[in-house]
């Protein structure tokens, strides 16, 4: 049930995003589009609630509950930038907006950009780890929480990878030819 809900939330995210941008730019109804875009956090609230109810109902914590926490974390950390990214492209394509700004390619500007990207991923991982820890406490010591702790370890790896990537752009900046 949890995996199906995660898939439904992901599909609903993109449907709400497309509908919100279509209302905003194609139909000329920016308030309706904004209202649809503001419904995005409700998806995570539903997923969070269903996962908590499932755990409280006696379900053994497993990879599905961990995946739900990670999905919510990624939506918190990366959802806004994804919406901004899609909005810029939609505005350019359908509303005559300016072309989307491309990330810098060289030097310090590129390093700063990479640290901002890493910051969003790190936020996503920290939110996921916090939700996972909350689930561990919620289930209590007598529940099997190894799978939730394994997800936390994956998030630590994710943080490390992002720091290495951003750090490489800082230590070895790409130079313009």
pLDDT of residue 142: 66
The CA distance from 103 to 114, in Å, is 9
- Regions of the chain short of the pLDDT cut 70: 141-143
pLDDT of residue 141: 66
Range of the domain at 61: 2-171
Contact 31, 80 (CB under 8 A): no
pTM, to two decimals: 0.90
CA 64, 69, 73, 79 dihedral sign is positive
Quick check: is 71 in a domain?
A: yes
Quick check: is 75 in a domain?
A: yes
Within the chain, what is the greatest distance between any pair of CA atoms?
A: 61
Contact 23, 36 (CB under 8 A): yes
pLDDT of residue 127: 97
Per-residue pLDDT of 115-165, as tens digits, reads: 999 999 999 999 999 999 999 898 876 668 889 999 999 999 999 999 999
Quick check: is 21 in a domain?
A: yes
Quick check: is 158 in a domain?
A: yes
Quick check: is 145 in a domain?
A: yes
Count of the separate structural domains present in the chain: 1
Quick check: is 176 in a domain?
A: no
Quick check: is 7 in a domain?
A: yes
The CA distance from 23 to 140, in Å, is 46
pLDDT of residue 60: 86
Quick check: is 15 in a domain?
A: yes
CB atoms within 10 A of CB 148: 25
């Amino acid at each position: 049930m949890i995996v199906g809900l995660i898939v439904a939330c992901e599909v609903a995210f993109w449907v709400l995003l497309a509908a919100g941008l279509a209302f905003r730019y194609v139909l000329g109804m920016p308030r309706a589009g904004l209202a649809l875009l503001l419904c995005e956090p409700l998806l995570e609230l539903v997923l969070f609630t269903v996962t908590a109810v499932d755990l409280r109902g006696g379900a053994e914590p497993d990879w599905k509950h961990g995946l739900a926490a990670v999905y919510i974390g990624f939506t918190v950390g990366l959802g806004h930038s994804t919406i901004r990214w899609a909005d810029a492209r939609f505005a350019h394509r359908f509303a005559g907006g300016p072309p989307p700004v491309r990330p810098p390619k060289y030097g310090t500007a590129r390093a700063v950009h990479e640290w901002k990207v890493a910051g969003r991923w790190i936020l996503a991982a920290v939110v996921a780890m916090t939700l996972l820890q909350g689930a561990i406490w919620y289930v209590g010591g007598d529940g099997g929480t190894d799978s939730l702790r394994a997800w936390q370890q994956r998030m630590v790896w994710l943080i490390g990878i992002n720091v290495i990537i951003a750090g490489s752009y800082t230590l070895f900046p790409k130079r313009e030819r």
